Amino acid sequence: MVSDLLDAVRAGSRVPRHVAIVMDGNGRWAEGRGLARHLGHGEGMKAVRESVEASLAAGVEILTLFAFSTQNWKRPEAEVRALMEALRTYARKESAELAASGVEVRVLGEVERLNAASRDAVRHIEEVTGGGSELRLNLMVSYGGREELVRAVRSMARRAGDGLLDPGSIDADLLEGALYTAGLPDPDLLVRTSGEQRISNFMLWQLAYTEIHITATLWPDFDRGDFYAALLDYQRRERRFGEVGTG
Ligand code: FPP
């Protein structure tokens, strides 16, 4: 039962502070039912709700969801529209409840590429949920890991060019401070659904020592039981960060 899984997580050694998810398999979920691909994205919002609620119940502090990649702009226009519509629907329907649960939402990525209606939705969900202290929910939208690194390097180069930064002082901490995730700990656990074994340009810097859990479940079918199973898998791992184990 799902409550037994949650009890097992709570009884376990440590709950990951930061969980990141590549929500994959929406298209296949829809195609497998003879439906248009975009209907899978709408259905995927249920799995988002399940993951948020499971994070709150388990005591995860930060949940980061890959909602739309820089590369997704190249998908057929109707699908891009459906994904943006999903974002707007999420902001309209869930903001109040997220705020009431203490979830602070931030949308990270090239938000300036979104159209005016989607940017309004982003502003709305960030405003309504601002200050929530139970869970930080990062929605990665128009996000790519390489693009994020290029942006960070460009901002440092600009400051160096303006004489505000000594290039010799550039180190890992400074670079981290120029990423969208500045101030947040790296993900402890990365979950990827639908069985694909790829990073897909997601959080390339931040995932350096992250444990990876891959499940064959397609994203729209992913529920809180699957989320707790991923946390239990994480609790069985020995994290070494490149050092030798503790035995
Ligand atoms: C990958 O499935 C999933 C995406 C590209 C988008 C994920 C978006 C959502 C779950 C809905 C929006 C969520 C929020 C919070 C607004 P895919 O289409 O690549 O699936 P496939 O690999 O089966 O084709």
**pLDDT of the chain, 247 residues: tens digit per residue:** 899 999 999 998 899 999 999 999 999 999 999 999 989 999 999 999 999 999 999 999 999 999 999 999 999 999 999 999 999 999 999 999 999 999 999 999 999 999 999 999 999 999 999 999 999 999 999 999 999 999 999 999 999 999 999 999 999 999 999 999 999 999 999 999 999 999 999 999 999 999 999 999 999 999 999 999 999 999 998 777 888 776 5
Q: 26, 72, 221, 226: which one is catalytic?
A: 72
Q: How far is the CA of 198 from the centre of ligand 1 (A)?
A: 15
CA distances 227 to 6, 10, 49, 63, 154, Å, are 9, 13, 11, 11, 37
Domain boundaries defined on the chain: 18-144+189-235
Q: How far is the CA of 244 from the centre of ligand 1 (A)?
A: 38
Q: Which residue has the tokens 């497998």?
A: 32
Contact 24 CB / ligand 1 (< 6 Å): yes
Structure tokens at 156: 């440092």
Contact 84 CB / ligand 1 (< 6 Å): no
Known catalytic membership, residue 24: yes
Give the CATH class of 18-144+189-235.
Answer: alpha beta
Q: How far is the CA of 29 from the centre of ligand 1 (A)?
A: 10
| Confidence (pTM) | 0.96
Query: pLDDT by residue (tens digit) across 187-244?
Result: 999 999 999 999 999 999 999 999 999 999 999 999 999 999 999 999 998 777 888 7
Beta bridge partners of 105: 137
Q: How far is the CA of 23 from the centre of ligand 1 (A)?
A: 6
Contact 25 CB / ligand 1 (< 6 Å): yes
Choosing from 26, 45, 46, 79 the residue with most ligand 1 atoms within 8 A of its CB, the one to mutate for a pocket test is 26
